[in-house]
Amino acid sequence: MVQIEVNNRAIEAKDGEMLLDALRREGIHVPTLCHMKDRFPSGACRMCVVEIEGGRGLVPSCAFPVSAGMKIQTHSPRALRARKTIVELLLADHPDDCLYCVRNGACQLQELAEEHAVRERRYQGVKSTYKMDTSSPSLIRDPAKCILCGKCVRVCEEVQKVAAIDFVGRGSTATVGTAFNQGLNTSNCVNCGQCIIACPTGALREQAYIKDVLAALNDPDKIVVVQHAPAVSVTLGEEFGLKPGSDVIGMMTAALRRMGFNYVFDTSFSADLTIMEEATELVGRVTGGGALPMFTSCSPGWIKYVEHFHPEFIPNLSTCKSPQQMLGAVIKSYFAQEVLKVPREKIYSVSIMPCTAKKFEANRPEMGHDNIPDIDAVLSTRELARMIRSAGLNLADMPSEEADLPFGERSSAGKLFGATGGVMEAAIRTAYHLITGRELEELKVQAMRGLDGIKEAHLDIDGTTVGVAVCNGLGNAADLLEQIKAGRDDLHFIEVMTCPGGCVGGGGQPFDTDEEGVRNRMRSLYTIDRDATLRTSHQNVSVKHLYDHYLGQPNGHRSHELLHTHYHARE
């Protein structure tokens, strides 16, 4: 550690660390646009400039190493003028549509303009014109709002190892785009939406389906059904000022009813259904032969990643549909035919998801019957928050209400699907029961918890060693795939979640939540599990009833027809 002086105050820093890291550790605010925590600095935006005394002038604090005896002014007149000029130059070629922009009120460029008192347009010139890319069912790319910070490029390439977008051109003609400037729908984009989370402006946003849902709610001939994913209830509250991890499931259910939804279901129910199918499939592969290791299939971004980059592993994917699609299938079959006794076309099925890739998944041709999709519209957590506000509702004022039966009862194992490792932990609980006929003495599987990129364990189940692993973030999954291709054979079951942290860190979740906020979301799910009385999927009475009265046996003929699917290689 060395001593430096910042704003006439002595602080300690690590010799050689980047100055910005030392400043933030001391709680000293320096604005940034391109900086990504724990990533090599690019120094692209220069918003983080500070002045070093002794004639060294302005330096980008994100890319300037600490040395003993440095004297720094973070908000000197020179530094402030430079930052303000950068903001003004960015705004000179930026659309003046803040009132209409989806990021209005949550835009870092807007915040910096306010912080630096930008009150007039000092620089003017010919505005650049760009074509908006609306081809993807999940994402919209608006190059006119891009400030070339590069964060979307870096998260796509360095974190997810997809590289669907990159810098194109040089100098004043530089843009961020796809190969050959094609639409995202024809690229190798996996629709994860992590680029949206990284983007500081509205250059990237989710494809919105609010208008379609409102039209259905106002159609007297439609029965509008909604399901909400396990992670949504512990993140939605952030949009209304609650701390990350606040569980608002009862208030959210009440708000959905007051918005006009006829039935509110919990996707955690079909997460239990997924475990019954997936655990049975795993046991069958282990005992009777089949492609191993078996990979989970509940994360659609991961599925598309395998289809694009590793099609040799398609046989290893579980054939189970995701919980969203399983519930969509039983809503338009069992619920329509046996409960409501109406044709499936009369039901409009909506899902609230933390994941933008779910929008793509719902549009897959495999996910429907007779050209009728099982899910008609997918809304992100952010979209739901907009709908609640537009309806004049205050989430905090809502009473706590239960979801509707028969798809409202869930185990806490199903709720764990919202966190990385949660699918594996739920599956272990049920697979152990299927193999031994007994319950695990300790349901908590600590090795599967936490934010580590790859987690592994070897379990002894009645003398049989079962190797399991959990990955979150496609870059980590890619590393594990390379190990398997190189000959590693001690793993039988692998959970992969596309987004860092799992669904709690999904591309459709509230903006500006740091790693500790994601941890709080996870802790909330584990607290729900700890305090629950029903903690295993195979003990869910509603799931048992569905099998007894409609589906038959897990992995049986009807359940395979409704709850399983297939995947294919993509160019």
According to the model, what pLDDT value does residue 461 have?
A: 87
Query: Contact 513/312 with Cβ under 8 angstroms?
Result: no
- What pLDDT score does 289 carry? 84
Outline where DSSP puts E strands in 173-308. Answer: 175-177, 204-206, 223-228, 263-266, 294-295
CA distance 516 to 371: 44
Residue 490 has pLDDT above 90, yes or no: yes
Strands 139-141 and 294-295: unpaired
The answer, yes or no, to whether residue 419 has pLDDT greater than 90, is yes
Mean pLDDT value across residues 269-280:
96
pLDDT score, position 565 = 96
Pair 525, 415: CB distance under 8 Å: yes
pLDDT tens, residue by residue, 87-136 = 999 999 999 899 999 999 999 999 999 999 999 999 988 888 899 999 99
132: CB partners within 8 A, 6+ apart: 140, 141, 142, 143, 144
Mean pLDDT, rounded, for 499-516: 93
Domains of the chain, by residue range, sit at 2-88, 128-207, 226-563
Per-residue confidence (pLDDT) for residue 225, from 0 to 100: 98
Which residues participate in catalysis according to the annotation? 278, 281, 298, 318, 358, 361, 366, 503
| Torsion, CA 436, CA 551, CA 299, CA 136, rounded to 10 | 170
C-alpha closest to that of 138 among 185, 176, 200? 185
Q: At the topology level of CATH, where does 128-207 sit?
A: Alpha-Beta Plaits (3.30.70)
CA–CA–CA angle 452, 456, 459 (5° rounding): 145
CATH assignment, 2-88: 3.10.20.740
In single-letter form, the type of residue at position 429 comes to R
Rounded mean pLDDT, 395-419 = 94
Per-residue confidence (pLDDT) for residue 288, from 0 to 100: 85
User: What pLDDT does 126 receive?
Assistant: 84
pTM, 2 dp:
0.94
Where is average pLDDT lowest: 44-48, 171-175, 228-232, 493-497?
Answer: 171-175
Q: What is the CATH number of domain 226-563?
A: 3.40.950.10
**Residue 286 in this model has a pLDDT that exceeds 90:** no
Stretch 38-64: mean pLDDT:
93
Judged by average pLDDT, the poorest of 240-254, 350-364, 456-470 is 456-470
Average pLDDT value for the chain: 95
Q: Report whether pLDDT(370) > 90.
A: no
**What pLDDT, on the 0 to 100 scale, is given for residue 145?**
96
> What percentage of the chain has pLDDT greater than the value 90?
91
C-alpha 353: how far from chain center: 9
> What's the whole-number mean pLDDT along residues 453-481?
94
- pLDDT number for residue 369: 87
> How large is the average pLDDT for residues 360-377?
94
Contact between 443 and 507 under an 8 Å Cβ cutoff? The reply is: no
Burial code of 285-304, b = ≥16 C-beta within 10 A, e = fewer?
A: bbeeeeebbbbbbbbbbbbb
Q: Which of 134-138, 189-193, 433-437 bottoms out in mean pLDDT, i.e. has the lowest?
A: 433-437
User: Between residues 106 and 54, which one has the greater pLDDT?
Assistant: 106
pLDDT of residue 54: 84
State yes or no: pLDDT of 147 exceeds 90: yes
